Amino acid sequence: MLDAALRDGTAERPSVFEVFSRRLSGGRRYGVLAGVGRLLETLERFRFGDAELAWLGAERVVSPRCLDWLADYRFRGRISGYREGELYFPSSPVLTVEAPFGEGVVLETLILSVLNADSAIATAAARMVSAAAGRPLAEMGSRRTHERAAVAAARAAWIAGFGATSNLEAGRRWGVPTMGTAAHAFTLLHDSEEAAFRAQVAAMGPGTTLLVDTYDVLRAVETAVRVAGPELGAVRIDSGDLPVVVRAVRDRLDALGATGTRITVTNDLDEYAIAGLAASPVDSYGAGTRLVGGSGHPTAGFVYKLVERADQDGTMRPVAKKSIEKAGSGGRKWAFRLLEGGTAREERIVVADVQPRLDGGRDLIVPLVVDGRPDPAFVGVEGTRAARAHHARVVAELPPEAMRLSGGDPAIPTALA
């Protein structure tokens, strides 16, 4: 596309691209936008170096003229959109890219790969947070995905309300609180379960979390309390019929005087399993496989479409595809969240050349990149913290029916004006 547009002169036409999702996948009632901060940081480094250009030339992917253009590529346009952590619904214009066609079209895969991956994780995480009803959750999925994706997933889950991650790089890079427990391998290494517990308590203190399901759970609980004393911090359960096992463990801990010892459970949890433990004496959860591995959540479904471009005389013209089931809506868009008594009631999308005002609506569109320079408020550790805080505020605006885990219509309707 870029090569052909450079040849016929259309690569420099001012254009507007839009990121949106046609529907909420999996019957979800809302989505959570994540990845904006990561995208903005990546955008600043997005270049075509000597190695990439040499390969493109050797493989004859594009012409020498296009190679010269790519060698000088740097995004110099404007990007606006929803704040990271914001909720989105069908047709929400979560990101708008304004630039010459060439500059904008090159970003499609970069933008979609970041936002689709991170938003899918954040949306799944938000449902788990809702199901946990105030009990803390830790993200523990690093071994279930790509090594770089693991860091991004930990960040996305924290933005959506998880309390910590086992991924230390996410802590170093993004300021996400970190935590962890011993694995079964540590218990199996030692000559006895008691020896393993004693070694861990000696290193970490009695406030540590001991894994008690390597052999016999209730015997392990007794050993753990004998080793650490009634001030044992927590025990972790990673297998079994969790509601039954958790109740038995709580009873045994209380009988041993360890009434303050917490119980954390893991074992391939998703929002449905967490909801099923609502009546159990669980203190915290660890989620990994069904959060990060992809088996427990659908894609975010974002697409990147040209919605406006300049004619030969410079006049901006709305454009949209008309194909069945994938028809679009042309024109530059602005979005508002309409509230009644602090509760979200509608997503209002307005087509306009300049940003309008809408009484009673919370403006959802903010500048993210101006003249190719990202707003520093949205990147780094502080940007990640701001995204988490923003998500906590906006999820509180949802009506109660939005928290249902069963499939259904979006929590609020979308209206195009």
pLDDT band per the 50, 70, 90 thresholds, residue 407 = confident
Mean pLDDT of 333-359: 93
Q: Which carries the bigger pLDDT value, residue 293 or residue 332? A: 332
Predicted pLDDT at 325: 66
On whether both 139 and 288 belong to a single domain, the answer is yes
Residue 208 has pLDDT above 90, yes or no: yes
Taking the C-alpha atoms of residue 24 and residue 362, their distance in angstroms, rounded to an integer, is 21
On whether both 286 and 316 belong to a single domain, the answer is no
On whether both 150 and 34 belong to a single domain, the answer is no
Q: Is-contact 77 369, C-beta < 8 A?
A: yes
Residue 41 has pLDDT above 90, yes or no: yes
Lowest mean pLDDT among 16-25, 106-115, 245-254, 287-296: 287-296
* Domain contains 179: yes
On whether both 63 and 153 belong to a single domain, the answer is no
Examine the fold and report which residue of 274, 292, 310 is the final residue of a domain before the chain moves on: 292
Mean pLDDT of 120-148: 94
CATH number of residue 188's parent domain: 3.20.20.70
Q: Is-contact 355 336, C-beta < 8 A?
A: no
Is this model's pTM higher than 0.85 or not?
A: yes
Predicted pLDDT at 341: 92
Two tokens at 365? 């569109």
Taking the C-alpha atoms of residue 165 and residue 177, their distance in angstroms, rounded to an integer, is 6
Examine the fold and report which residue of 275, 292, 309 is the final residue of a domain before the chain moves on: 292
On whether both 263 and 373 belong to a single domain, the answer is no
pLDDT band per the 50, 70, 90 thresholds, residue 169 = very high
The number of distinct structural domains making up the chain is: 2
On whether both 316 and 404 belong to a single domain, the answer is yes
Residue 332 has pLDDT above 60, yes or no: yes
**Other Cβ atoms closer than 10 A to 222:** 16
Query: Can you tell me which residue has the tokens 């913290």?
Result: 385
* Domain contains 129: no
Instruction: Report pLDDT digits (tens) over 45-96.
Output: 999 999 999 999 999 999 999 999 999 999 999 999 999 999 999 999 999 9
Two tokens at 52? 């990439």
On whether both 117 and 149 belong to a single domain, the answer is no
pLDDT band per the 50, 70, 90 thresholds, residue 3 = very high
> Could you tell me how many residues make up the chain?
417
* Domain contains 130: no
* Domain contains 128: no
Instruction: Report pLDDT digits (tens) over 246-257.
Output: 999 999 999 999
Mean pLDDT of 377-398: 97
Predicted pLDDT at 324: 65
* Domain contains 127: no
Residue 267 has pLDDT above 90, yes or no: no
On whether both 148 and 287 belong to a single domain, the answer is yes
On whether both 337 and 242 belong to a single domain, the answer is no
Residue 27 has pLDDT above 90, yes or no: no
Query: Can you tell me which residue has the tokens 């195009």?
Result: 416
Mean pLDDT of 157-183: 96
Give the structural domain span for 84. 2-121+298-416
What letter represents residue 417's amino acid? A
Q: What percent of the chain has pLDDT over 70?
A: 98
Nearest to 167 by CA among 205, 141, 197, 188: 141
Predicted pLDDT at 355: 87
Cβ neighbours for 159, distance < 8 A, ≥ 6 positions apart: 32, 34, 84, 85, 122, 384, 387, 388, 391
